[in-house]
Amino acid sequence: DGSVSSCLAVDIRIEILQWLETLPEVEQVCRAAAFAAVATGWRRRNGKGRLFPLPDSLPDEGLELAILLADDVWVRDLNRDYRGMDQPTNVLSFAALDAPDEPSCPGEPLALGDVVLALQTIQREAEQRAIPLADHLRHLVIHGVLHLLGYDHQEDDTAEVMEQLEVRILAELGVDNPYIDPGVATAKQL
């Protein structure tokens, strides 16, 4: 039917079984957040705050992205190797579409990229902010997926756009605005 729900494939890979022990519904949480982020992010595909425009219509072959549920050690290694920062972080995104006219393989879904999440960092942040782990995870999946769609938060104006999108998507999922508390990091700081 041409909607995101009919054409998006989300591959969830659980590298650390502690994810399932800590949050048994982790796959459903991630999948729902990813679908919501792509649906809203795609509708605003050529709007302000984007590094590159997306195609005008959803590809016939569909879209795909991967979510890797890892731990601090795994994410620290990736953060060091790809960003030069030898420390864990909550979420890393590896966009497959870094340019507007990035070629895709004919007949294959358009690969958006990968989102990698660090359990211990996310748990610690949720505890510090006194918010449910599932809600914080939803937020970080949305944040990561928006990066895959070309949204960025390096400049104040693009950070504001990204933050507003995150808040809107979270509201659709029944999650409160995480930026209301002055102690909470802004999109630019995530």
The tens digit of pLDDT for each residue in 129-156 reads: 999 999 999 999 999 999 999 888 877 7
Per cent of the chain over pLDDT 90 is 62
Cα 169 off chain centre by: 11
What does the pLDDT read at residue 47? 60
Domain of residue 10 covers 4-189
Contact 166, 185 (CB under 8 A): no
CATH code of the domain in which 139 resides: 3.40.390.30
Range among 52-66, 80-94, 155-169 with highest mean pLDDT value: 80-94
Per the structure, the count of domains in the chain is: 1
Task: Report how far residue 85's alpha carbon sits from residue 91's, in angstroms, rounded to the nearest whole number.
Answer: 13
Q: Would the pLDDT of 46 be above 70?
A: no
Please, what is the Cα angle at 44 between 79 and 63, to 5 degrees? 65
pLDDT per position as a tens digit, 122-131: 999 999 999 9
Smallest Cα–Cα separation from 102: which of 94, 117, 93, 112? 112
